[in-house]
A and B are shown apart, each in its own frame.
Chain A
Amino acid sequence: NAGVMQNPRHLVRRRGQEARLRCSPMKGHSHVYWYRQLPEEGLKFMVYLQKENIIDESGMPKERFSAEFPKEGPSILRIQQVVRGDSAAYFCASSHNAANTEAFFGQGTRLTVV
């Protein structure tokens, strides 16, 4: 897990607010993945990004969710107008390049919507 930094670790939002989750990949990694995990379940793919490009967002809800990975700075997963069902752990992973699918994970952001 060393190197992939996610913040905040815990985030509490009221219904209708916005949640911004940040992920700084390991140094030298240009590929970022976001996953969502509900209690007692596995990881559900949300979105795969390379620098400045969204490669695959097939796991993202079509409304309220967006992700970016700018040329400079961390990747951001943004959830607008949060609802209780958005409460989950959100994990970010990074990998070196497309040919190397070994991904290294951050410690996650636990979002609680109240």
Chain B
Amino acid sequence: TQLLEQSPQFLSIQEGENLTVYCNSSSVFSSLQWYRQEPGEGPVLLVTVVTGGEVKKLKRLTFQFGDARKDSSLHITAAQPGDTGLYLCAGAEGGDDKIIFGKGTRLHILP
């Protein structure tokens, strides 16, 4: 069974600071997705990374897929209170494409 481990589990930082959260696995994924979930809502897809070494930017968010396609990172520049939420990485497991999730990083940006 492929597992996605996310770190840190919790992160609380001041507005304006930079941060990086990680998603790691011992297995290779054909693609990884990052989602953000706010309290009381369903996860919202932020980005999909497919190619090893790929970097995608979404405003102040930078997503990177590891060269070996086993890990990914999310870097946020100049964090804002609106970035607060649960960040989840996900990937397809095995030939039947069951999508599995990491446990998430719960991010809190202090104003």
Contact indicator B88/A43 (Cβ below 8 Å)? yes
Query: Please, what's the 1-or-0 string for B40-67, where 1 marks a CB less than 8 Å from any CB in chain A?
Result: 0111110010000000000000000000
Q: In the bound complex, what is the Cα–Cα distance between A93 and B97 (angstroms)?
A: 13
Contact indicator B101/A45 (Cβ below 8 Å)? yes
- Output the least CB separation between A69 and chain B (Å): 15
Is B100 interfacial (CB-CB < 8 Å)? yes
Q: Which residues of A contact B98 (CB under 8 A)?
A: 33, 45, 48, 55-56, 58
- Output the least CB separation between A5 and chain B (Å): 11
- Output the least CB separation between A87 and chain B (Å): 15
The size bracket of the interface on A is: 20 to 34
Q: Which residues of B contact A45 (CB under 8 A)?
A: 98-101
Query: Please, what's the 1-or-0 string for A33-72, where 1 marks a CB less than 8 Å from any CB in chain B?
Result: 1010000111111001000000110100000000000000
Contact indicator B48/A107 (Cβ below 8 Å)? no
Contact indicator B48/A105 (Cβ below 8 Å)? no
Q: Which residues of A contact B99 (CB under 8 A)?
A: 33, 45, 48, 93, 95, 101, 103
Contact indicator B45/A91 (Cβ below 8 Å)? no
Interface centre among B6, B44, B100, by most chain A C-beta atoms within 10 angstroms, is B100
If A1-B44, A101-B92 touch, does A35 touch B106 (CB 8 Å cutoff)?
A: no
Q: Which residues of B contact A41 (CB under 8 A)?
A: 103-104
- Output the least CB separation between A93 and chain B (Å): 7
Q: Which residues of A contact B6 (CB under 8 A)?
A: 42
Cross-interface CB contact of B103 among A31, A33, A42, cutoff 8 Å: A42
Instruction: Tell me the A residues contacting B by CB distance below 8 Å.
Output: 1, 4, 6, 31, 33, 35, 40-45, 48, 55-56, 58, 91, 93, 95, 98-99, 101-108
- 17 further A-B contacts with Cβ under 8 Å, apart from A42-B102, A43-B43, are A1-B41, A1-B44, A33-B98, A33-B99, A35-B101, A42-B88, A43-B101, A43-B104, A48-B99, A56-B96, A91-B42, A101-B30, A101-B97, A103-B33, A105-B35, A107-B42, A108-B41
